[in-house]
Structure 1
Amino acid sequence: MGKDYYKILNVDKNADEEQLKKAYKKLALKWHPDRHQTEKEEAEKKFKEINEAFEVLSDKNKRQIYDMYGEEGLKAGPPPPTEEGAGFAGGFPGGFGNFSSGAFPGGTFPGGTTFTFSSSGRGFNPTDPNTIFSQFFSNLGGGDDDFMNAFPGGFPRRSKGGRPPSDDFGDFFSRSRGQESGGALEVKHSLPLSLEDIYKGTTKKLKVTRKLIDSATNKVVPTDKILEINVRPGLKAGTKFRFPKSGDELPNGDTQDIVVILEEKPHPIYTRDGDNLRITLTLSLLEALTGFKKTIQTLDDRKLAISNSLVIKPGQEQRFPNEGMPTKNPNKKGDLVVKYDVKFPTRLSEDQKKALKDCLQDV
């Protein structure tokens, strides 16, 4: 049984172009393999299905053929033409009907649907999913917020030899054509940053030495290049910044992409938990029982007063909203979670024990 492209995109069979784009955008960003390092094989399979479904349903000709004959009919394509009136011997159960000799490429299906197959005479062959992904977001102008939050460094994985769109690729892609993903390999660099830099946002410059090939002498020429990396406040460790064709020039004519990966340096006080910040405060037994007032320094150099007049138990946590890491919403931050570690005395004098018994015996 063939694939249900409508189910894959989670759209109705009457979905229009805008509904298809919205569904594709959501699913393609969710299942891009670069965002699923621990389940990459499953993500690649889903990503491929999502792009294939979108390619078919966003093309009115392919969609109509798919609606009539399903995935098998769309991909099988017409067998060699027979004599007029003989129909098709295979490819589609029951045949399509009668076609004149030489009707394909450019034949007409029942109901008047004209469909042009590839020059090989075969049926639909899905385009490389990375090409579709890049073309879609190129068409949005490169400033889409959802894309930038998912891939702050620009377009992720580059297509490696994927089939480019043919002239009959479809209504949507005839408009979105213009930026092809490259086929070069990539070289990775790490960018270790302090939690303060990630909190505030920063711009860093990375000097790399790239090897270019002199076309006149065919010799390798080392050349320095400065990469400017704009780190938005609140980005997470593992965020990739891609610099297309900024690496070494390869003998086959390709040029490597440089991928800079954000790393978070350990902080002496704070640890990051998603969009939240966590900190441990040590209290004396007296402070835990009678209350306290303390001041801590935030990552943006403010003094934050923390107090509590209630009894604190060891391991108890207190949450301070909007004092965590910045998020993509400029008006909202994560929370600061303070965990209390109560320090007990190592010894008590007899007088201290008696005093504690006197004041605590009724508690």
Structure 2
Amino acid sequence: MSESQATAIQPDSPPSNAIDTDALIIGAGPIGLFQAFQLGLQGIKAHLVDALPHVGGQCAQLYGHKPIYDIPGIPVCTGKELVQLLDQQIAPMNLPRHLNQQVQSLSRLADGRWQAVTTAGTQFHTRSVFVAAGVGAFVPKALKVAGVDQLAADQLLYHPSETSSALGRSVLIYGGDEEAVQAAIDCASLAAKTRLMHRRDTFNAAPDQLARLQALRDSGAIEVVIGQITEVQQNAGQLQALQWMDGEGREQTLRVDWLLVYLGISPRLGPIADWGMAIEKKQLVIDPATMATSAQGIYAVGDIVSYPGKKKLILCGFHEATMAAFAAAEYLQGEKPLLQYTTTSAKLHAILGVHHPQH
């Protein structure tokens, strides 16, 4: 898409169901979460969009239980612990989250704002945009076997955030990571039948999860099936059974009426490449003093950006989010913001909900 296409002027009467906001953050990894914090300190209200069903992005998904040693002031923490701390830090900002969806189009309105539309049909009219998409939107890897495309949307779920719909059903969880193991554990007390299928009888999960899984296997609450799905059998979109192949190459059939798939996630730059901003080697080109892209009102931070001397480190992304927030405050409020300190500023204390005892 050319620059002229990306910034095409839209009609003056946009849809009335759009969400109006000062800022839209695309990407809920650590940098996106800290971006929300820095914007909140500037008094800028934001909304957050991410392709995954939970916050944390790559940090939570790929490094959930792996140690991180280079976060200032935190000698060691796991990816999930870091995300939990950042989530706790932005609690005073009351940040609305729009998860399990991607921004698929971004275009400029006649009044200078940006209109963003997600894959879930959510629309935003925003004065500024912050792209914190890492190496792209992390999306679940799809199950590619015969019959999958004919299933109704609620028959096969990828990395679902909750499993309450397993109640009374015959469920198969497909995958071998900690999310798959936890889903099997959660379904065991709800489903009529819970099966966990993986290509081998080893699972990449925390020791306590593995111990719980083994106990449920021993009791018969979970059946582990070693093999791979080869075909999905359905009737009018409703899942009926799965054809699968065991380690000896034999085809077998399982009666199943709900399928949860955990095959991992992969990054895709996706529609970001079509939004008309300057891109170099699949990264957005920005001004490191402001983190502004080539499109007015759009900023980018984290691994998605490129500039001389750029380092792909979380702590560098935190710095970039701070620079972007100050630049956006000047852009949105018409004057350069004062540098205030959270140790002493009554204004920032009010934003953060800090209460001082009466003397």
TM-score range (shorter-chain normalised) is under 0.3
> Whose radius of gyration is greater, 1 or 2?
1
Give the strand-richer structure, 1 or 2.
Answer: 2
TM-score of the superposed pair, with normalisation by structure 2 = 0.23
TM-score of the superposed pair, with normalisation by structure 1 = 0.22
